Amino acid sequence: MPRRAVLRLGATAATLLAAPALHAEAAWPNRPIRMVVPYTPGAATDAMARLAAQVLQERLGVTVVVENRSGGSGTVGGHAVLQAPADGYTIMGSASIHPMARQVMRSVPYDPVADFLPIARTARGPCVLVLDKRRPQNSVAEVIAAAKADPLRWSFATSSLGAAGHLASIEFNRLAGTQIEVVPYRGSAPALTDVAAGNVPLMFDPVLATLPMIRGGQVKGLGIATARRSPLAPELPTLAESGLPDFAFESWYGVWAPRGVPPDIAARLNAAIVEGLHQPAALHRLADQGFEPVRETIPEIESFIAADVARNAALLKLANFEPQ
C-alpha cells in the first residue's frame, strides 16, 4: 500500500479513537459540582445556597457538594472559587454583599463584578430590625430617642460589611438622624447570637434568620423593611409606619461562577436553578421562609447588579463611609 494511503488511514483511525474522548469531555456535567459558600453554616446565605445546590442536583443528575469557606468578609471563599478552572464544576453561592466587596473593603483580591459571572439570582426577601430583649424600648421611635440621648450605649451588628443589613443600618442612621455604630461579624449566626445574648442591641437581618428568633422570644422584632406589612409576619410594622419614610431593604441571593465559564454551561446552570426554584415544592419552601424566587437571564442579572451596586455606592457616599 502506498505510504500516503497508510498515513491517511492512520489519521482517520486516530480521529475515530479520539472522538469518544472528545464526546466525554463535552458531556457536562459528568462529575460532582462544588458549591462554595463564603460564609458560616446556618444563616440565610448558606440556606439559599443549599437550596440552589439541591435543585441543581435534582435537575442535572450529579452530586452538588456544598463547602463553607468563611473568612475575610466572604473573600476567602470567593478567592477559592477563582482558583478553580472556569469549567462549571466550581460555583459560589453568595448574596447581594458579593458585588459590593470593593465598595466596603480596602483590600479585595479580585474584582467581584469583572472576575465573576452571575449565574442566577436565586431568591430575595426583606430585612427585619431586631432588638436585644433586655432593652426597655419596644418601638423604632423609642430606639431613636434613646440612641440620640446616649449614642454610646447603642450599636448595630451586621453579618458583614456591604450586606443588606449593613446598608439598612446606614440608611437607618441617615433617616433617623442617629449615629449608631455598625459592628461587622463573620456571618449572621454569630451576630444574631450576640444580639440574643445582649452583647449588641440592634441588627437588621433577613426574615429567614430573624423571625424564628422573634417568635421564640430570643429578640424583639421592631419592624420590617418592606413597603407593606408581610403576610408572613403581619404583626411587624413597616419601618415606614415607624417614621422612616420609603425605608425598604431586601437581601437577595445568587450563584456565581468564575468568568470564562463556557456560555452553554452557564445557560444550563441558570435554567436548572431558575426552573428548579419555581417548582411547587421549592416555591412553598421559599414562601415559608419569607422569600420569593427570581426569574432572570444572565444579561438581566448583570444589568440588575450594575444598578444595585450604583445605588448602594451612592448610599455609602452619602454616609461618608470609608472602606475598612
pLDDT at 7: 39
Q: Are residues 213 and 145 in the same domain?
A: yes
Greater model confidence, 74 or 191: 191
Q: Are residues 154 and 167 in the same domain?
A: yes
b/e burial code for range 204-222 (CB count within 10 A of at least 16 → b): bbbbbbbbebbeeebbbbb
- Predicted confidence (pLDDT) per residue in 221-247, tens digit: 999 998 888 888 899 999 999 999 989
Is residue 236, in this structure, part of any structural domain at all? no
pLDDT at 109: 92
Q: Are residues 193 and 274 in the same domain?
A: no
Is residue 291, in this structure, part of any structural domain at all? yes
Q: Are residues 98 and 180 in the same domain?
A: no
Q: Are residues 130 and 220 in the same domain?
A: yes
Q: Does residue 43 carry a pLDDT above 90?
A: no
pLDDT (mean) for 80-93: 97
Q: Where are the alpha helices (DSSP H) in the chain?
A: 3-26, 44-60, 75-82, 101-104, 140-149, 164-176, 188-197, 207-215, 263-277, 280-288, 298-318
pLDDT (mean) for 64-85: 93
Is residue 27, in this structure, part of any structural domain at all? no
Q: Indicate the number of domains in the chain.
A: 2
Q: Does residue 102 carry a pLDDT above 50?
A: yes
Is residue 150, in this structure, part of any structural domain at all? yes
Task: Say if residues 110 and 192 touch (Cβ distance below 8 Å).
Answer: no
pLDDT (mean) for 171-180: 94
Which of 295, 202, 312 lies closest to 249, judged by CA?
A: 312
Is residue 10, in this structure, part of any structural domain at all? no
b/e burial code for range 108-142 (CB count within 10 A of at least 16 → b): bebebbebbbbbbbbbbbbbbbbbbeebebeebee
Task: Say if residues 142 and 79 touch (Cβ distance below 8 Å).
Answer: no
- Predicted confidence (pLDDT) per residue in 250-293, tens digit: 889 999 999 999 999 999 999 999 999 999 999 999 988 888 89
Select, from the ranges 77-91, 179-193, 284-298, the one with the highest average predicted confidence (pLDDT): 77-91
Residue with cell string 468564575: 258
Is residue 22, in this structure, part of any structural domain at all? no
Greater model confidence, 311 or 197: 197
pLDDT at 323: 85
Q: Does residue 8 carry a pLDDT above 50?
A: no
pLDDT at 25: 53
Q: In CATH, what number is assigned to the domain containing residue 183? A: 3.40.190.10
pLDDT at 116: 98
- Predicted confidence (pLDDT) per residue in 106-164, tens digit: 889 999 999 999 999 999 988 999 999 999 999 999 999 999 999 999 999 998 888 88
Greater model confidence, 296 or 3: 296
CA distance 13 to 141: 80
Is residue 238, in this structure, part of any structural domain at all? no
* DSSP conformation class of 74: G
Q: Are residues 89 and 49 in the same domain?
A: yes
Residue that is last in its domain, among 207, 224, 241: 224
CA distance 288 to 51: 13
Is the pTM value of this prediction over 0.85?
no
Residue with cell string 415607624: 242
Q: Are residues 160 and 117 in the same domain?
A: no
Is residue 237, in this structure, part of any structural domain at all? no
Q: Are residues 156 and 210 in the same domain?
A: yes
* DSSP conformation class of 187: S
Q: In CATH, what number is assigned to the domain containing residue 284? A: 3.40.190.150
Sign (positive/negative) of CA torsion 115, 80, 255, 223? negative
Q: Are residues 133 and 216 in the same domain?
A: yes
Name the residue range of residue 308's domain: 32-124+252-318
Per-residue H/E/C for 78-97? HHHHHCCCCCCCEEEEEECC
pLDDT, the chain, mean: 89
